[in-house]
Amino acid sequence: MNREYKIYKITYFLMAVNVITYLYTSLKYGLSMSAMQGIQVGGFNPLYVYYYHEYYRLITANFIHFGLMHIFCNVYSLYNLGMLMEKILKEKKYIIVIVVSMISTTLFSYLLFLLFNIGTNSVMGGISGVVFGLIGSLLALSVLYGDVYSYLFKQIVSSVVLMLFISVAVPSISLVGHLGGMIGGFIATFVLEKIDSKKERIIN
């Protein structure tokens, strides 16, 4: 366990922050929170960002969860996929992909509000956007390099399709947030890899 923590310290740190935050909100509100309670602890709602300039919600929303099943599914998914991607991307790139995925998860929803006034009554929370960001990251590696990355991505395609279907079928789950995280993770990884390849060419 100690050796695993040292190798996958970013993933373990993210898991710990999510679990600690959930324990805090559980003590404060109970195992499940209402939408307004979610707002009070940093959940994302576009009105609070637009009118009160509470931009921190673009990040803090990723760490709050609305129930035991919500936190369990997200942390379990992060545990499985996060370790794989932390090993592949290494620490610096992994952190960048995570942060970009966090922001793009909520930013896409905010843009929908700005453009079409959608989501005024919704409250978003959860680390699942980052999980989708890591899926997008693996897809980017698959597109750029094929080989083992394509094999790994094919292994999770059915799960990704199922998660996207659930995002459509269950109204309380944000399809836009999931797609936003996935796109953010894809773009971040694609750009980082292209920058690295340019550096290698300059050195050579």
Distances (CA, A) of 41 to 45, 133, 154: 12, 23, 37
Residue 101 confidence (pLDDT) above 60: yes
DSSP letters, 124-140, are B--THHHHHHHHHHHHH
Q: Which amino acid is at 142?
A: S
Q: What is the pLDDT of residues 42-65, one digit of tens each?
A: 999 999 999 999 999 999 999 999
Q: Is the pLDDT of residue 99 over 80?
A: yes
Q: Which domain holds residue 74?
A: 2-203
Q: Residues of the chain with pLDDT > 70: what percent?
A: 92
The model carries a pTM of 0.92
pLDDT at position 172 over 90 = no
Total structural domains within the chain? 1
Average pLDDT in the chain: 91
Q: Residue 164: pLDDT band by 50, 70, 90 thresholds?
A: confident
* Overall average pLDDT of the 147-166 stretch: 87
DSSP 3-state of 124: strand
Least confident span in 11-25, 91-105, 190-204? 190-204
Q: What CATH number is attached to the domain comprising 82?
A: 1.20.1540.10
pLDDT of residue 72 exceeding 80: yes
Any idea what DSSP says for residue 54?
-
Average pLDDT of span 11-30? 96
